[in-house]
A = this chain, B = another copy of it.
Amino acid sequence: MLSQAASRLGFDVVILDPEENSPAGRVSRGQIVAAYDDPTALTVLGRVCDVVTFEFENVPAASAEQLAGGGALVAPGPTALSTAQDRVLEKTFLNAVGATTVDFVAVDTLEDLTAALETLGTPALLKTRRDGYDGKGQVWIKTAKQAAKAFAEIGGRPAILEARADFTRELSIIAARGHDGAVAVYPLGQNHHANGVLATTLAPAQVDAATTARAREIAEAILEGLDYVGVIGVELFDLGGGDLLVNEIAPRVHNTGHWTQDGCLCDQFEQHIRAIAGWPLGPTEAHAQVEMTNLLGDDVDQWPALAAEPNARLHLYGKAEARPGRKMAHVNRVSRLA
């Protein structure tokens, strides 16, 4: 979707992806089939591209560093990537720029975990510091007795223990920042997760002015704190009354921003390309109410019924294999703004 947006703005796109005929490669000018950390492939990529970006945050930060070190313009920069890849660094950064999170403690050993549980109390959420997304690599601890089992469950790896947030709902905000420091922020989305994976986003969310203002303030603080260039997704816990906690940041276009494709003149994908290419940022107002629903695994078999829904717009990713839980497509159901 990023590649299509770039092509529509006249750019040629080259994809680096280890999978032959990847979903992005099949709609792009070229593809380099190689691992994300292949030094030769990275050198070639840096030479043929005016700007390099990424669409998921598990690209090794070292690859972004090699590209930037070799003189390529990488946006967002390697720092944004490495910050988002480590949950302890991420939350430390967020609190430093005034974007409050739940209380947390870094955990390297079982002893650390036991001490952390005393500090934060139970229930608390144990997550690996790195990797893991869509609910993978995390486990709830309900009593201190479960510490050893939980630590084993996440593989005894460096971890973070997070206090439970007492939130009423999950929101997210999609924002962009240009090379010139200009910031553009989309209306908030309200998210519903199922089994740790995003199921739906409803946008624009019904929010009061204080919540909107606070979300924008948070997004701006994060973008400036990271000297960020591109689109970012910020997941928020809504505590009510304009109080928001940041759950996590995604240094890329974000699943909770897919609604912008059918709700805004300039969607998050075009916005990201505009930002990294040094174009002026596009408008972010919504012209429609959108409910975005992910189609995971076999859900994609519903496509004939969805294609026949008069106010639905279907986006299929062209992935060959519908593995259970794999994001295969999404549908935006569009209605008039409330």
A7 within 8 Å of B (CB atoms): yes
Q: How far is the CA of A311 from the CA of B282 in the complex (A)?
A: 9
Tell me the chain A residues, 290-323 only, with Cβ under 8 Å from chain B.
303-304, 307-308, 310-311, 313-318
Residues of B within 8 A of A329 (CB): 10
CB proximity of A72 to chain B, nearest CB, Å: 21
A205 within 8 Å of B (CB atoms): no
Q: How far is the CA of A10 from the CA of B8 in the complex (A)?
A: 18
A288 within 8 Å of B (CB atoms): yes
Q: For A7, give its contact among B265, B308, B318 (CB under 8 Å).
A: B318
Q: Do B10 and A313 touch across chains, with their CB atoms under 8 A apart? A: no
Q: Do B266 and A313 touch across chains, with their CB atoms under 8 A apart? A: yes
Q: Do A10 and B310 touch across chains, with their CB atoms under 8 A apart? A: no
Q: Do A280 and B308 touch across chains, with their CB atoms under 8 A apart? A: yes
Tell me the chain A residues, 58-110 only, with Cβ under 8 Å from chain B.
none
Q: Do B265 and A280 touch across chains, with their CB atoms under 8 A apart? A: no
A9 within 8 Å of B (CB atoms): yes
Q: How far is the CA of A3 from the CA of B12 in the complex (A)?
A: 15
CB proximity of A130 to chain B, nearest CB, Å: 33
Residues of B within 8 A of A266 (CB): 313
A29 within 8 Å of B (CB atoms): yes
Residues of B within 8 A of A282 (CB): 310
Q: A314's closest neighbor in chain B, by CB?
A: B9
A18 within 8 Å of B (CB atoms): no
Q: How far is the CA of A303 from the CA of B12 in the complex (A)?
A: 16
Q: Do B262 and A280 touch across chains, with their CB atoms under 8 A apart? A: no
Q: Do B4 and A8 touch across chains, with their CB atoms under 8 A apart? A: yes
Give per-residue flags for A274-293: 1 if the beta carbon is below 8 A from chain B beta carbons, else 0: 10000110110001100000
Tell me the chain A residues, 1-24 only, with Cβ under 8 Å from chain B.
3-4, 7-12, 21
A26 within 8 Å of B (CB atoms): yes
Q: How far is the CA of A315 from the CA of B4 in the complex (A)?
A: 11
Residues of B within 8 A of A280 (CB): 307-308
Residues of B within 8 A of A274 (CB): 307
Q: How far is the CA of A195 from the CA of B226 in the complex (A)?
A: 52
Q: How far is the CA of A253 from the CA of B103 in the complex (A)?
A: 56
| Residues of A in contact with B (beta carbons under 8 Å apart) | 3-4, 7-12, 21, 26-29, 262, 265-266, 274, 279-280, 282-283, 287-288, 303-304, 307-308, 310-311, 313-318, 329, 334
